[in-house]
A and B are shown apart, each in its own frame.
Chain A
Amino acid sequence: MKTMARIPVIALVGNPNSGKTTIFNGLTGSRQRIGNWPGVTVEKKEGTHLSPGWASGGDSMTVVDLPGVYAVSASAEDERVARDFILSREADLIVNVLDATNLERNLYLTLALAEIGVPMVVVLTMIDRAHAEGIKIDLEALTRAIGARVVAVNGLVRDGVAEVSRAIASALHDPRPATVAVEYARAIEDRIATWTPGLAGAASGVGINATWLATSLLEGDPWITGYVVETGTFDADEIDRVRTELAAEIDRDIDVALADARYATIGKIAESVKRPARGPSISERIDRVVLGRFVGLPIFLAAMFSVFWTTITVGETFIELFEDLAGAVFIDGVSAALAALSAPAILSTILVDGVGTGLQAVAAFIPVIGLMFVMLALLEDSGYMARAAFIVDRVMRLFGLPGKSFVPMMIGFGCTVPAMLGTRTLESKRDRFTTIFMSPLMSCGARLPVYALLAAALFPGRAGLVVFALYLTGIALAAATGFLVSRTLFPGTPSRFILELPPYHVPRPGAVLGAAWRRLAAFLGRAGVVIAIAVAVLGFLDAIETGDGEQRATVLSSFGRSITPVFAPFGITEENWPASVGIVTGVFAKEDVVGTLTAAYAYDDAGGTAGDTDTRVLERLRENFSPAAAFAFLLFILTYTPCIAAVVTSMREMGVVLGSVLAGYLAVLAWAVATVFYQVAEGGDLAQILAAVGVLALVAVVFRVFGRRLAAGGFSRSVSTSSAACLSCRVPGGCAVIPRKPPTP
């Protein structure tokens, strides 16, 4: 029982699209800690709810928003997070959120929660939409049928939030599970009854209901089976024998029989709900047009293009504004303040050239990323996002990925960072990580200025074609990367495609801007600090002069010069050392390559020829690069290690090891691709070509070996590698699902 001192924890559990997030935002307002990522998992959000008239037990509670799930058995990443939390019994109360327009399917999860025996209240959302559809719900009858407190709210209305708050408060005084019970077939009930007493020990170990444990064991839940075998209660053969016997006795698959019985119970509960018979809904009629054979693809391409176009063009116009604003505050403001305080020069170097420049670089990202989040939220809130994934699924499957992977990759054309964050919607780790590996190859907005500069210098009149060729090369390399890593590093079957298509509705400005703002705030809050620090360190190195007066040299540029030989195979000559310095500074922001090249050439050109700086830079570029070397250099810029912000994000999403593997892989790939192109086009050195191809082959081999080790460590937990038929699924672990450690009681 909860003590007065402890802050109660409530968890929101419900299907995807059930309106859970709206309730969460309503309850917690701005008191959220978004993105509580324990290692590499799908997000679990936490916030604090202050209840206005809540007299006893304290006046605040912790609210946890779990990923939307359809059941408590987990086969995907997000489901695992939700299941582990529910079974951990960390929550004093589960708030089961149900979509009133879709009650039958939503109630399946309610039954599971009742069987597990967690204390709960039920919240019906989207009651307004249900009324509009002519659905009539007898709340009293529904409450009696479920055997738990039920409140019906329109989650967008303040009164609704207050009502949920009151229901939670009163349920916390007397927390109890729902009383509804499923009636299974006689033979199944008998087996559950036989197993239950023996499972009491194993059940108390994790603090869950022994009857539910027995039911899950019969159902063949791989994780529960693994756990029970681990505790030594039953051995695997024993469980298998009983299941085979039972299946023979009822003459059907046990899991199908259990689900049938549950939906029969739901049918009885749903008698309190009157749903008018209807023909095709408005959404279905829209789908028949929008997803049509001939217009479906053009509409899809137009939608994607508008996202891309709006983000790039509109976002880019604000980049300078944000850069200038941040510059005024963090650079001019800070230097003025330091000057007024007559602070030592070294302090100014650190704070202004280092941290100030770093923060300015982060600030420049804000408009593009913010706008991308707005466009994304528009697509999501309207319901078109799911349709986009639906349309491209057939094409994406060629690369071993589900249709849902397309969306984050599209975002990659704007910025790699939100692209990587966007992979969280994908179901399996394998699909997610493969997509993260591909996303940096979608040429981001920051690379565009580099292409523009070199193309203008060396391919005048054909600049557009060169840039287009680079974008296409990026897509081809992404496809090749997807092909490679999905077969070596992250092997396994792509996840099955089951995607709910929510009804269309007009995007709500509040919801869209709110969602975009929360994502942007999360990005700035978490990544911003790390980026600023990393950028500051590199900027600092670039600010320390080591030169002897003849030439400007910094720690960074000396380093760049010393590594020039590495880039020689793709046409970077020793005199062209600014190019290698550009490659180094490009690691912290791609657009920095341009600044580095222009600055370095300008300093190097100390003699001073006639003409303005821009013309001189173009001339110097023509002197230093042959067309083939320039294109090879651009191929390298396109492909190599993404900016520090993207690397940090990939590490946060996949872990430091895999993030480093990605950064290293892209550097090697870039070197090989640029070298092969340069040597074929101009150099003609067969040994270099062979070396590049050899390096790529080596990468494939290393990935394969590393992939095996990942798999051995239980990486592809959610993926069945055997093509096992359902019959063999009766064998515990027949689906090759590695049991996880049970949650701590």
Chain B
Amino acid sequence: MTSETPMELSQTLTLKNLAPGHSAVIVGYAECERPYRARLLAMGLTTETVITVVTRAPFGDPIEVRVRGYNLSLRAGEAAALILREIS
């Protein structure tokens, strides 16, 4: 179990904090390496795109998500590059 302080939760939502079955909207990108961001952008993880967590790997990481109708897996730490806003 990861320990998240309420502070972090209220400040920026990242994929790590999103529970399976929950969806969020991509608000923007935090600092990250350019090739990584370029690939995510090419794969359709652009601003205002809805991203849904499907499940996590048995070890808790990586995370399977659905975006634009297909399924993708990302590591929680690396996907912190995505700044999210939860939607109900």
**A residues adjacent to B (C-beta < 8 A):** 70-71, 73, 75, 101-102, 104-105, 108-109, 219-220, 222, 252-253, 255-256, 259-260, 263, 275, 280, 283-284, 287-288, 291-294, 296-297, 300, 386, 390-391, 393-395, 403, 496-503, 718, 720, 724-727, 729, 734-735, 737
Contact (Cβ within 8 A) B72 A726: no
Contact (Cβ within 8 A) B29 A499: no
* Chain B residues in 8 Å Cβ range of A502: 71
Contact (Cβ within 8 A) A391 B28: no
**A495 to chain B: closest CB distance in Å?**
9
**A554 to chain B: closest CB distance in Å?**
54
Given contacts A256-B41, A293-B58, A496-B33, 14 further A-B contacts (CB under 8 A): A108-B44, A220-B34, A256-B29, A260-B48, A263-B46, A287-B54, A288-B20, A291-B56, A291-B57, A292-B55, A390-B62, A498-B39, A503-B71, A725-B31
Contact (Cβ within 8 A) B60 A75: no
Contact (Cβ within 8 A) B35 A75: yes
* Chain A residues in 8 Å Cβ range of B57: 291, 296, 390-391, 393-394
Task: Identify 18 residue pairs between A and B in the complex whose beta-carbon atoms are under 8 Å apart, listed by A's number.
Answer: A70-B42, A105-B70, A108-B42, A256-B29, A259-B41, A259-B42, A287-B55, A291-B64, A292-B55, A294-B58, A390-B73, A393-B75, A394-B59, A394-B61, A496-B75, A498-B39, A501-B71, A720-B35
Contact (Cβ within 8 A) A499 B72: yes
A724-B33 in contact given A291-B55, A498-B39 (Cβ < 8 Å):
yes
Contact (Cβ within 8 A) A498 B64: no
- Residue B69 CB within 8 A of the other chain: yes
* Chain A residues in 8 Å Cβ range of B68: 102, 104-105
* Chain A residues in 8 Å Cβ range of B39: 70-71, 75, 496, 498
A720-B62 in contact given A71-B39, A500-B72, A726-B29 (Cβ < 8 Å):
no
Q: How large is the interface on B (under 10, 10 to 19, 20 to 34, 35 or more residues)?
A: 35 or more
Report the bound CA distance from A105 to B74 in whole Å.
Answer: 17
Contact (Cβ within 8 A) B71 A283: yes
Contact (Cβ within 8 A) A496 B78: yes
**B43 to chain A: closest CB distance in Å?**
5
- Residue B38 CB within 8 A of the other chain: yes
Report the bound CA distance from A239 to B18 in whole Å.
Answer: 39
Counting chain B CB atoms within 10 Å of each CB, which of A101, A105, A222 scores highest?
Answer: A105
1/0 per residue, CB under 8 A from A, across B1-45: the answer is 000000000000000000010000000110111111111111110
* Chain A residues in 8 Å Cβ range of B85: none
A102-B69 in contact given A293-B58, A393-B62 (Cβ < 8 Å):
yes
Contact (Cβ within 8 A) B70 A102: yes
Report the bound CA distance from A390 to B59 in whole Å.
Answer: 10
User: Closest 3 interchain pairs by CB?
Assistant: A296-B58, A75-B35, A71-B42
**A274 to chain B: closest CB distance in Å?**
13
Report the bound CA distance from A219 to B37 in whole Å.
Answer: 12
| CB nearest to B42 among chain A residues | A71
Report the bound CA distance from A267 to B70 in whole Å.
Answer: 16
**B87 to chain A: closest CB distance in Å?**
15
Contact (Cβ within 8 A) B38 A73: yes
Contact (Cβ within 8 A) B70 A256: no
A255-B72 in contact given A293-B58, A718-B35 (Cβ < 8 Å):
no
A726-B32 in contact given A283-B71, A284-B71 (Cβ < 8 Å):
yes
* Chain A residues in 8 Å Cβ range of B31: 725-727
Report the bound CA distance from A390 to B36 in whole Å.
Answer: 18
**B6 to chain A: closest CB distance in Å?**
25
* Chain B residues in 8 Å Cβ range of A503: 71
Contact (Cβ within 8 A) B42 A288: no
Contact (Cβ within 8 A) A73 B42: yes
Report the bound CA distance from A101 to B70 in whole Å.
Answer: 9
Contact (Cβ within 8 A) A394 B62: yes
**A269 to chain B: closest CB distance in Å?**
13
| CB nearest to B33 among chain A residues | A720
Contact (Cβ within 8 A) B35 A284: no
Contact (Cβ within 8 A) B36 A496: yes
Report the bound CA distance from A416 to B15 in whole Å.
Answer: 38
| CB nearest to B81 among chain A residues | A726
Report the bound CA distance from A390 to B69 in whole Å.
Answer: 19
A284-B34 in contact given A104-B44, A260-B46, A501-B71 (Cβ < 8 Å):
no
Report the bound CA distance from A252 to B68 in whole Å.
Answer: 23
Report the bound CA distance from A419 to B79 in whole Å.
Answer: 30
Report the bound CA distance from A608 to B16 in whole Å.
Answer: 73
A275-B69 in contact given A75-B39, A255-B38, A729-B34 (Cβ < 8 Å):
yes
